[in-house]
Amino acid sequence: MDLVEVPVEATFGLRRGVLGWEVPSATRIQGDRAAHLALLHEDAVAAVVSHATWPCPDEPAVPARYFFGMAVDASYQGRGCGRRLLAAVAERARAVGESVMWAEARESAVAFYVACGARATAPYVEDVAGLAVRRVVFTL
């Protein structure tokens, strides 16, 4: 599978299907301020994530990268796509001197992030879409 940078519009179809997002969707970072990564399989978008520089509330003084909209097509889940996208975001964060990477995760995905090395906070309701989430934080 090829890892490529894509315009935000290329993420919409998968996010609608996998995350149930109306698109464009309300996020902390507007699409044009973020970068968007996709894994392509035979030109089809199999997985996406977006990311941008943004401080983590737990460690506001530390240079950090926020990521959002992680979605893997159901037929590709459990095959390492999510882990690969996390590694790609981490690589980009480290390259610009950031040492924390974080997201607000739905409960069903928290175990995935923990399996990939994150620590997770207690649940809370985020203030953009009013969803119950946990913050997942990676030290890079």
The least CB distance from residue 27 to ligand COA, in Å, is 12
**Of the candidates 41, 34, 119, 115, the residue with the CA atom closest to the CA atom of residue 69:** 34
**Residue number, 38 or 70, with CB nearest to ligand COA:** 70
Q: How many helices (H) and strands (E) does the chain have?
A: 3, 8
What contacts 93, CB < 8 A, 6 or more positions away?
51, 64, 65, 99, 100, 101, 140
Q: Is 20 in the site for ligand COA (CB under 6 A)?
A: no
Q: Is 71 in the site for ligand COA (CB under 6 A)?
A: yes
Provide the token pair at 112.
Answer: 């995935």
Q: Which of residues 29-58 bind ligand COA (CB under 6 A)?
A: none
The least CB distance from residue 74 to ligand COA, in Å, is 8
Question: What are residue 24's phi and psi, to 5 degrees?
Answer: -65, 145
**Interface with ligand COA: number of residues (CB under 6 A):** 20
| Distance from C-alpha of 128 to C-alpha of 130, rounded to nearest angstrom | 6
Q: Is 82 in the site for ligand COA (CB under 6 A)?
A: yes
Q: Is 117 in the site for ligand COA (CB under 6 A)?
A: no
Enumerate the H helices of 1-140 as residue ranges: 12-19, 81-95, 107-115
Q: Is 118 in the site for ligand COA (CB under 6 A)?
A: no
The least CB distance from residue 59 to ligand COA, in Å, is 20
- Using DSSP, state whether 118 is helix, strand or coil: coil
Interface residue with ligand COA, options 19, 37, 45, 90 (CB under 6 A):
19
Q: Which positions lie near ligand COA, rule CB under 6 A? A: 18-19, 70-72, 77-83, 105-106, 108-109, 111-112, 115-116
